[in-house]
Amino acid sequence: MYSNKHKKIVVKIGTSSLTHENGKLDIEAIEKLVRQITNIRNAGIDISLVSSGAVGAGMTRLHLNHRPTSIREKQAVAAVGQGILMHIYEKLFSEYGLSVAQILLTRDDLSIRKRCVNFINTMSKLFEYGVVPIINENDTVATEELMLKFGDNDTLSAMVASLIGADLLVILSDIDGLYDKDPHVYDDARLIPLVENITEDIQITAGDAVSGYGTGGMRTKLTAARIATASGVSMIIANSRADMVLSRIVSGESIGTFFKPSAHKLNSKGIWLAFGSLSSGKIFIDEGAKDAIINNGKSLLACGIKYVEGDFDAGDTVTVYDEQGREVARGIVNFSACDVKKIMGCSSEKIEEILGSKSCDEVIHRDNMVKTC
């Protein structure tokens, strides 16, 4: 079903796979994971781990019986737990002769192009040194209010896999893969072994269930699959508790649900625009402009714009929507929101007359835009 000739792999493991039912760390499960990753690394494959578990580790040390709910509590517990988690990984990997590196990221780190490039370069050098990078969201400083959270490590792992050019993303969870209905509710739920396209029907099959100590459900895993496959990265969802699951996947055994990568993958700039950058505003376009962008690969001109939301400047990333509110594209805008409002619906020839000057005809040039629908 998929190639076993991998060169670069990202593995994501969730909190529920690293902890017991009481929320405390499952050292035996972590040790098994480390042993498999070490064997893969020793085979000459670059491999990185996106690991949850900082809050769970903090809960263990602080003797908490329930996962904290407020942002302040979560950040404090994560601050305690992250060091504990890394100490465990460092100790276990060192027993097998491997070094690890800790990388903590916020959404902002990948939304700013320069920081994103620095992250990619750092990862490349770590692989060159034979190090296993261990990545987590920097929960201590990331908040939803500041728009700096990925929200879950499923999304983070997909962005990491896409940006570093991995050929496989493995999401290890407490479920065997994607089912046609929620297996926790329906006894006749059937595993879907292969997903070639993430359709609306596939989206509907994803439930909202989350584990007691985790933050992501199947919907977040489908979001991750969208990011990964659009970037040309294969993705597998598999059960972390399956015997030697990583080793079997790397050897080519069909396990869990395999998401086939797109044949028309995005380039590095397109990946950053579509998934890394933060949108500063919204531009709504008519059907003619939508057709020009989607089917003909054209730039966005002022004449096709219906209205604008947000306060953005020239050079910011904005999201383009059709008149029904469906996302069409994302791109770097050449005009401020104020100027776009003045020229929307007008032909390019009238821009200079309206604004007093004109640096370009396109509101968003096609080279700075990526389709997202």
Question: Which CA distances in Å does 28 have to 17, 63, 88?
Answer: 11, 20, 11
118 marked as binding residue:
no
143 marked as binding residue:
no
CB contact burial 260-292 (16+ within 10 A = b; e otherwise): bbbeeebebebbbbbbbbebbbbbbbeeebbeb
219 marked as binding residue:
yes
Q: Give SS3 for 78.
A: helix
325 marked as binding residue:
no
Q: Output helix, strand, coil percentages for the chain, rounded to the nearest 5.
A: 40, 20, 40
109 marked as binding residue:
no
**Across the beta sheet with 257-259, what order do the strands follow?**
100-105, 132-137, 46-51, 8-13, 168-173, 234-239, 257-259, 194-195
65 marked as binding residue:
no
221 marked as binding residue:
yes
205 marked as binding residue:
no
For residue 162, count other CB atoms closer than 10 A to its CB. 28
Residue with the two structure tokens 């929101």: 337
Give me the amino acid identity at 277: S
173 marked as binding residue:
yes
218 marked as binding residue:
yes
How many Cα atoms occupy the beta-carbon half-sphere of 310 within 13 Å? 18
188 marked as binding residue:
no
Binding site per annotation, positions for ATP: 12, 173-174, 215-221
* Residues that constitute the known binding site for substrate: 52, 139, 153
What are the binding residues?
12, 52, 139, 153, 173-174, 215-221
